[in-house]
Amino acid sequence: MTSTPTPGTPRPASDLDPAIAARLKRGADGLVPAIAQQYDTGKVLMLGWMDDEALHRTLTTGRCTYWSRSRQEYWVKGDTSGHIQLVKSVALDCDADTVLVKVDQTGAACHTGDRTCFDADVLPLGK
């Protein structure tokens, strides 16, 4: 499916394999968190959100597709920035409520221009 819904409208039905779709535990909004991890270093890059169609597109195109909660549309990582995520593997966690996508990240993963979204605001640990 290639359509993108207009803001405020329901997302389209998906071509995701029904066996995979049946396993997913989605939030009330129909989304699951998707963690992008650099495949060769294990570095966690970012967290995005996927619905069934975003997961289907990720599995079939080899590029990470997410659902933007703010814009209410699909976005393929790197289409505007050039900082693409080439998919190396996709896995569900043990509860099937989180997706782990191992990627080969080109450039920054974070919209701020940082390689990862998790380097800029490390919280102090208290004892």
Query: Per the annotation, where are the binding residues for Zn(2+)?
Result: 94, 110, 117
CB 36 within 8 A of CB 48: yes
Annotated binding site: 93-95, 97, 110, 117
CB 49 within 8 A of CB 31: yes
Annotated binding site for Mg(2+): 93, 95, 97
Cβ neighbors of 77 (< 8 A, separation 6 or more) are 36, 48, 63, 64, 65, 66, 83, 84, 85, 109
CB 5 within 8 A of CB 14: no
Helix (H, G, I), strand (E, B) or coil at 70: coil
Cα 119 to Cα 100: distance, rounded to the nearest angstrom = 19
